[in-house]
Copies of this chain bind each other. A is one copy, B any other.
Amino acid sequence: MMKDIKIYDSTLRDGAQAQGISFSVEDKLKIVQSLDNLGISYIEVGNPSSNLKDIEFFKRVKEIELKNSRLVSFGSTRRSNMSVENDSNVQAILRAETSAVAIFGKSWDFHVKEVLKTTLDENLKMIYDTVKFFKDRGKEVIFDAELYFEGYRDNKAYALETLKAAYEAGADCICLCETTGYAFPDQIYEITLEAVQKFNTNIGIHCHNDSGMAVANSIMAVKAGAVQVQGTFNGIGERCGNANLSVIIPNLQLKLGYNCIPQENMKNLTTAARYISEVANITFDERSPYTGRCAFAHKAGMHADAVNKNPKTYEHVDPEVVGNERVFLMSEVAGRSAVLSMVKNIDPSITKDSPQTRIILEKLKEMEYEGYKYEGAESSFELLIRKILGKYQPHFELKEFKVIVNDPPVNSMNSSAIVKISVNNEEEITAAEGDGPVNALDKAARKALERFYPQIREVKLTDYKVRVLDSNMATAAKVRVLIESTDGKEVWTTIGVSTDIIEASWKALVDSIEYKLMKDN
């Protein structure tokens, strides 16, 4: 019998504490959807506050129909010397209306005195009252014992008291947090074991990576009996990051026989990890265990030869199980099976042995070498496949564009663009001004095309992302532009790569427009 482990994702809350992370409402909704698809048990959606962005997010996230996940609002215990009812933060959590809440309280006496500046006794009451408040209102309550391991080291009796307060108030799960990331696997094991034995409720674990051991520490806690593991995808989090769920999940499920996510979703792990990294707009670490492009990469020579004889010689798991691929370096191809499944969507008659499959894979290799990355830009990839399969008819042709940027600006708009296109040999030249060159170009292109295709008025570009590919080249480096568009019914993302950001943006714009015209036909 496989034991269930509840995976608790904090990418949107603790992950948002990471340097360089700033999620938009759309980003957050995308991540929630992706985690639910993968089968994550809990999604911590953040600390509900009264700012407009949060209000919009909490309103919209409730509209998503979740298949697997339960949303969790997060917040602190009530303030000292104040009733729960009068505490605006506690009330904000209640108003968020999630069925589960995570309440964090201090387990380290040092923090109670130095940071909260209250008494040890009052802190216990703050924990008890806040957990009780939510239990009385029918919530599932997870108590996050912040700095538990640090507290245990300095004042074990008090740290245990804080757990007891949450336990007696009825917490459904007590999560032991290693907040500063200082501890070693054997310590985590012993201390977790004691909590598991003392309290007749679920014990969770939340580790940070300051000593480079967050994954190992989380797993040792599970071995000691913890049943909930908190962490983030790709380990995104403040300082050195949180425990990396994209490593913990396969470690627990593939090697130790625990149930974390539905087994049939394990093959989506690599895609999910990469997608979340893309949405968060951070560079994916290709050395990541299980999901990185290097994870099953073998340099030519002894190891590659052995792996060719039998992959088990140098691979700890089969890459396909987690949706990754074995790579013999020098071949850049990724995701053969993913490619095939997309090709089959366009033309079901094609199999992995069809000559077109080989041509598509070759083209993909070439495009990846150029800097294209179609994960998260499936619409451009679909266009590419259609072009190769001869199932694509261009709707227009660019003849020429010219963009001029002036500083100081002329008449407040600093950019202007001239675009010349042709549709069925009929030419149209037009110009537009804009806030910046890409905006001017976008406006001019639509203006020229609207005469032929009025439906492109429905298209709105909703996101625009740029990533520099070869940072050694700085401003002369290749850039990859991703544009997200919507016509109110569907959302699609397209890609362009060039050393010139205008050119790259143009390519992504053209794909966006072409995709719209194709799908409307």
CA distance A285 to B463 in the complex (A): 16
* In the complex, chain B residues whose CB is within 8 Å of the CB of A405: 401-405, 437, 500, 502-503
Instruction: Tell me the number of copies of this protein.
Output: 2
The residue of chain B having its C-beta at the shortest distance from the C-beta of A499 within the complex is B435
* In the complex, chain B residues whose CB is within 8 Å of the CB of A181: 289, 316
The residue of chain B having its C-beta at the shortest distance from the C-beta of A314 within the complex is B180
Q: Tell me the count of chain A residues lying within 8 A, CB to CB, of chain B.
A: 119
Whether the Cβ atoms of B240 and A474 lie closer than 8 Å is no
The residue of chain B having its C-beta at the shortest distance from the C-beta of A213 within the complex is B216
On whether A251 and B211 interact (CB within 8 A), knowing A22-B373, A239-B296, A466-B466, the answer reads: yes
Whether the Cβ atoms of B462 and A474 lie closer than 8 Å is yes
CA distance A20 to B400 in the complex (A): 32
Q: Encode A192-227 as 1/0 by CB contact (under 8 A) with B.
A: 000000000000000001111101110110010000
Q: Encode A287-299 as 1/0 by CB contact (under 8 A) with B.
A: 1111011111111
Whether the Cβ atoms of A407 and B414 lie closer than 8 Å is no
* In the complex, chain B residues whose CB is within 8 Å of the CB of A121: none
Stretch binding the partner chain, chosen from A77-85, A268-276, A475-483? A475-483
Whether the Cβ atoms of B114 and A310 lie closer than 8 Å is yes
Assess whether A244 is interfacial by the CB under 8 Å rule: yes
On whether A111 and B216 interact (CB within 8 A), knowing A285-B285, A376-B19, A471-B24, the answer reads: no
Whether the Cβ atoms of B438 and A501 lie closer than 8 Å is yes
Whether the Cβ atoms of A501 and B501 lie closer than 8 Å is yes
Assess whether A348 is interfacial by the CB under 8 Å rule: no
Whether the Cβ atoms of B500 and A19 lie closer than 8 Å is no
Whether the Cβ atoms of B467 and A313 lie closer than 8 Å is no
Q: Encode A176-200 as 1/0 by CB contact (under 8 A) with B.
A: 0001111011100100000000000
Assess whether A484 is interfacial by the CB under 8 Å rule: yes
Assess whether A68 is interfacial by the CB under 8 Å rule: no
A185, A238, A309: residue with the most chain B Cβ atoms closer than 10 Å:
A185
* In the complex, chain B residues whose CB is within 8 Å of the CB of A452: none
* In the complex, chain B residues whose CB is within 8 Å of the CB of A438: 475, 501
CA distance A376 to B210 in the complex (A): 19
Whether the Cβ atoms of B464 and A184 lie closer than 8 Å is no
Q: Which of B182, B219, B295, B442 contacts A475 (CB 8 A)?
A: B442
Given contacts A19-B299, A20-B376, 12 further A-B contacts (CB under 8 A): A19-B376, A26-B471, A110-B312, A115-B305, A180-B314, A185-B186, A185-B220, A211-B289, A212-B244, A213-B219, A285-B285, A465-B466
Give A contacts to B, CB under 8 Å.
17-20, 22, 24, 26, 110-111, 114-115, 179-182, 184-186, 189, 209-213, 215-217, 219-220, 223, 235, 238-241, 244, 247-248, 251, 255-256, 281, 283, 285-290, 292-299, 303, 305-306, 309-310, 312-317, 329, 332, 373, 375-376, 398, 400-408, 414-415, 434-439, 441-442, 460-468, 471-472, 474-477, 479, 483-484, 498-503, 505-506
The 10 closest A-B pairs by CB, nearest first: A461-B474, A436-B500, A216-B216, A182-B316, A466-B466, A435-B499, A212-B247, A212-B215, A439-B475, A213-B216
* Contact sample, A vs B, 9 pairs, CB 8 Å cutoff: A22-B467, A110-B313, A185-B216, A209-B287, A211-B255, A213-B213, A240-B289, A407-B503, A439-B499
